[in-house]
Structure 1
Amino acid sequence: MGQSINTTGLLLTHNKYWQSKWYNDNNYIFSLYEDILIRNYIKNVFKNLNLFYGKCVIKRSIQKIYIYINIYKKKRKNIINTKDKRKLINKKEIKQILQSLTKLTNNRIILIIKPTNIFDAQLLAQYISRKLEIRNSFLSIFKKILNKINKNKKIYKGFRIQCSGRPNGNDMAYIQWFKYGQIPLHTYNYKIDYAYTTALTKYGLSGVKVWLSFV
């Protein structure tokens, strides 16, 4: 497998599933473009709300689009409802998201949000990118993630994070990575989650890659 192949695409036939579950023979390009718009909008909205979310699964039916999102539990005064802790977003914010998505797609949007304590590779990549934008060092970010992994050894076997760019304002870009535990990238039986994102820092864009191995 190595690092030159997308781990998610390679493991689709073994222990991975598609994040977009629909079929459209006539307007495939248009539906794919709508999915890209939906994912980019959700990414920007949750970044403004200071929320971390996992993988976004999109399902389609006749004039309906189902969006499934897992949000990591985090205490925020403006978002968490004091009466019901399961609701992480206010009703006003959900209405704004639904209205803007209906304008983008001209379809009925059904948004399903679930809180979770288990973080995946997508959530870790978002966490690292936002910390890099605040000018936190890559080593301090690795130590914080390491503490979370050690507390949940029954769920995770190991992880690997990689950052490329100019995080400290160096003249030349370089690649920095850390590894902990077992990350077998050449076997198909292991449950490995992969995610990639970018961080807009003061010195330019930095690429962030995360490999996460589950038990």
Structure 2
Amino acid sequence: MGQKVNPKCFRISPNLYKGWSSVLYAKKGDYSKKLLEDIKIRNILKKDYSAAQISDVVILRTSSNITLNIFVKKPGIIIGKSGADIEKLKKALQHFLSEEIFINIKEVKKIFLDAELVAQNICTQIENRISFKKAMKTSMQNSMKQGSLGIRVLCAGRLGGAEIARAEWYKEGSIPLHSLRVDIDYASCQALTTYGLIGVKVWINRGNFTKI
């Protein structure tokens, strides 16, 4: 029986996908400490800046500093007026980080080609009591309009408040998961509703990688 592999993990390579979300060099005894710090950074961003709709956080470390590349739909929420909120974020991170911190905010232009933002959008609509079918199909149409070659969306749980949980999925275009030259973006998230959690998974075919 075939095993399902995360398409992003399957394509991590300097020549394929955009690489690792964390890049660091550490001594054997320091690795777990650095890893825990990375988790704390991501949790703070997810908790305090969820309204900004963060797509990805890439953490680059050297011996003396940390650079955070934050890919986001609404950069103004993190930057704040005259960069005031950026300074607040730096102070919050400096409570447990000793290195110098640099933060780069990068806006995601085509939000419907980003699986993480599409999944978050569907979850938000479901939490606002919009039909899950409508949310899925609207997101798929917008993704195809912005240039994706294929998209698949799966929702699972007590859909529509049904007593028995089930899964439904829709697909448009092609999603070749076995072709490593194809850039498949993948994300999953959960919608919290009055009748339980609804899981959402999104696969988007963004065409072939530019370098292979």
- TM surpasses 0.5: yes
Bin for the TM-score computed over the shorter chain? 0.7 to 0.9
Given that 2:25 and 2:62 are in contact with CA atoms closer than 8 Å, whether structure 1 keeps it comes out as no
Given that 1:192 and 1:214 are in contact with CA atoms closer than 8 Å, whether structure 2 keeps it comes out as yes
Match of 1:125 in 2: 119
- The superposition leaves residues 61-101 of structure 1 with CA deviations (integer Å, 9 ceiling, x where unpaired) of 12421110122258xxxx47xxxxxx964323222222112
Match of 1:184 in 2: 176
Shift of 1:192: 0.6
Give the counterpart of 2:22 among 20, 23, 47. Answer: 20
The two structures have a TM-score, normalised by structure 1, of 0.83
Given that 1:73 and 1:117 are in contact with CA atoms closer than 8 Å, whether structure 2 keeps it comes out as no
SS in 1 for 2:149: strand
Alpha-carbon separation, structure 1, partners of 2:52 and 2:12? 28
Match of 1:94 in 2: 86
Match of 2:136 in 1: 142
Alpha-carbon separation, structure 2, partners of 1:181 and 1:3? 23
Match of 1:55 in 2: 56
Alpha-carbon separation, structure 2, partners of 1:139 and 1:99? 42
Give the counterpart of 1:114 among 106, 109, 112. Answer: 106
For residues 3 and 167 of structure 1, do their structure 2 counterparts lie closer, same or farther at Cα, with a shift above 3 Å needed? farther
Match of 1:46 in 2: 49
Alpha-carbon separation, structure 2, partners of 1:195 and 1:132? 17
Q: Summarize the alignment of residues 190-205 of structure 1 with structure 2, pairs less than 5 Å apart.
A: 190-205=182-197
Unmatched runs of 5 consecutive residues or more in structure 2: 208-212
**Range 188-197 or range 141-150, more displaced:** 141-150
Give the structure with the higher percent helix. Answer: 2
**1:7 maps onto 2:10 in alignment:** no
Shift of 1:157: 0.6
Give the counterpart of 1:212 among 176, 188, 204. Answer: 204
**1:29 maps onto 2:32 in alignment:** yes
Shift of 1:109: 2.1
Alpha-carbon separation, structure 2, partners of 1:3 and 1:176? 20
Match of 2:161 in 1: 169
Given that 1:132 and 1:167 are in contact with CA atoms closer than 8 Å, whether structure 2 keeps it comes out as no
Alpha-carbon separation, structure 2, partners of 1:88 and 1:94? 5
Paired AA for residue 163 in structure 1: C
Unmatched runs of 5 consecutive residues or more in structure 1: 81-86
Given that 1:19 and 1:56 are in contact with CA atoms closer than 8 Å, whether structure 2 keeps it comes out as yes
The two structures have a TM-score, normalised by structure 2, of 0.84
Given that 1:88 and 1:115 are in contact with CA atoms closer than 8 Å, whether structure 2 keeps it comes out as no
CA RMSD, Structure 1 to Structure 2 (Å): 2.2
For residues 62 and 204 of structure 1, do their structure 2 counterparts lie closer, same or farther at Cα, with a shift above 3 Å needed? same
Match of 2:210 in 1: none
